[in-house]
Structure 1
């Protein structure tokens, strides 16, 4: 199974054609999308149809919708709209539960609470679960001092603890619950070349957090950086493959 997660920046706008070209090129079996501003269930259904997929959209009360798309039928779908700043779209694809989500971009403490709640709600020791999306959190295994130092102070606050250190508590909450960060070491997912003057340092904000039964099947995880993804969003897409048999990375 090939999985892709991507924050496409305020609904894709005039970049949507390039975004869909990347998705067609990567051919994910499961696609988690975030920042679907202005998208309705009808709209995501139309886009899914163009891609040969089915979709479940979770609307957002305060932020932007998120979605799960898949090449096979989605079952037991669920939308979480009130516990999160943005939302979470939950769907079962075969024996896999996929949670596409986008955590609070502004408040480290609220982001920690969101991650803690998601971990308690969805972690399973014997089932395949994947939390995929823009978690807006720094990871606890990286030195973030240099990346934080280059951005404006007002944006630094989004990623600092009250003590002034890099805030990694959201990812730590998921790890402490038992999820595995299968993309550890893949490098930064923001900013892309087109958006380097925005609020990001060289951060990894997009994650694939897998339950142990799924994590054991990980074959590769990579960030897709090229001329198209450089301009398609302010985030790069993350692609992973999960398989019972050895598989070589594609590209």
Structure 2
């Protein structure tokens, strides 16, 4: 399908089924309503708690979207913490060629590398590589190592790639938040060390540097600068940081059309981007 593709990412907060104490809640219904309203061709989901040991949750999510008129098929990654990530795709438009999870155990929350293609594409036509990321919330250094691994795999299958999700760290170029208003556990994970109590807090941007060094484009930042819309850099989580992000490989830069936040679905804003599949740059296989 040549034309606009819509990509949505949402941290569901315990799958939309539980609160932080493990008590049942029902946030999945509103999440599914929002997904069906956006009509994403690709969905990146994080924190799908319980999906690894109870496939009924996975099945129920697919049925709920089918009933709402926007079916998606989920490719779920293994996760040592149980905070599963998934890449979902709209089967009338896209199909999957590969789903690589062999390095999932080397990250806190796991991940998979999905290679998607237009349903009408020739088999030798390059696909689109997609990773739903949920980087470590406890250490910028650990998250940066996870980002390095994911960036390598993103380039592996033709170089047309999208990495998106809960990056959990400060991106490059955004203003410092009011760190005094940020919970101390978030400051310890997301800020540079201080030499004394009077030194101001500064965000640790090591993850953003890793992704930029890998040749990836921060979608919200790029569109904020090129479209003169600084509001696109707004925070997406309760920690006052734009932790939910999309980063794409260079062949997707000129295909980017728009980006927006959707608040209120969980403790994170959902984020949506749109790209013109007819303007994708040439694929590249690195030796």
Give the TM-score normalised by the residue count of structure 1.
Answer: 0.85
Q: Does 1:165 align with 2:196?
A: no
Match of 2:162 in 1: 130
Q: Does 1:100 align with 2:143?
A: no
Q: Does 1:84 align with 2:98?
A: no
Q: Any stretches of 5+ residues in structure 2 without a counterpart? A: 18-25, 66-70, 118-126, 195-200, 225-231, 280-287
Q: Secondary structure at the match of 2:15?
A: coil
CA deviation after TM superposition for structure 1 residue 126, in Å? 5.8
Cα separation, partners in 2 of 1:132 and 1:150, compared to 1, 3 Å: same
Q: Any stretches of 5+ residues in structure 1 without a counterpart? A: 192-199, 247-251
Match of 1:8 in 2: 12
Question: Matches of 1:39 and 1:63 in 2, distance apart?
Answer: 8
Match of 1:195 in 2: none
- Give the counterpart of 1:56 among 69, 75, 78: 75
CA deviation after TM superposition for structure 1 residue 214, in Å? 1.4
CA deviation after TM superposition for structure 1 residue 121, in Å? 2.8
Name whichever of 135-144 and 162-171 sits farther off.
162-171
Name whichever of 35-44 and 173-182 sits farther off.
35-44
Q: Does 1:224 align with 2:250?
A: no
Give the TM-score normalised by the residue count of structure 2.
Answer: 0.75
Question: Matches of 1:147 and 1:78 in 2, distance apart?
Answer: 39
The number of aligned residues is: 231
CA deviation after TM superposition for structure 1 residue 239, in Å? 0.4
CA deviation after TM superposition for structure 1 residue 244, in Å? 4.8
- Output the aligned Cα RMSD: 1.9
- Give the counterpart of 1:188 among 229, 235, 238: 235
Larger Rg: 2
Q: Secondary structure at the match of 1:105?
A: coil
Partners of 2:130 and 2:154 within 8 A in 1? no
Q: Which string of whole-angstrom CA distances, capped at 9 and with x for unpartnered residues, describes residues 3-58 of structure 1?
A: 00110101111111010000010000000000011113453244224321111001
- Give the counterpart of 1:44 among 58, 81, 91: 58
Q: Secondary structure at the match of 1:75?
A: strand
Match of 1:240 in 2: 273
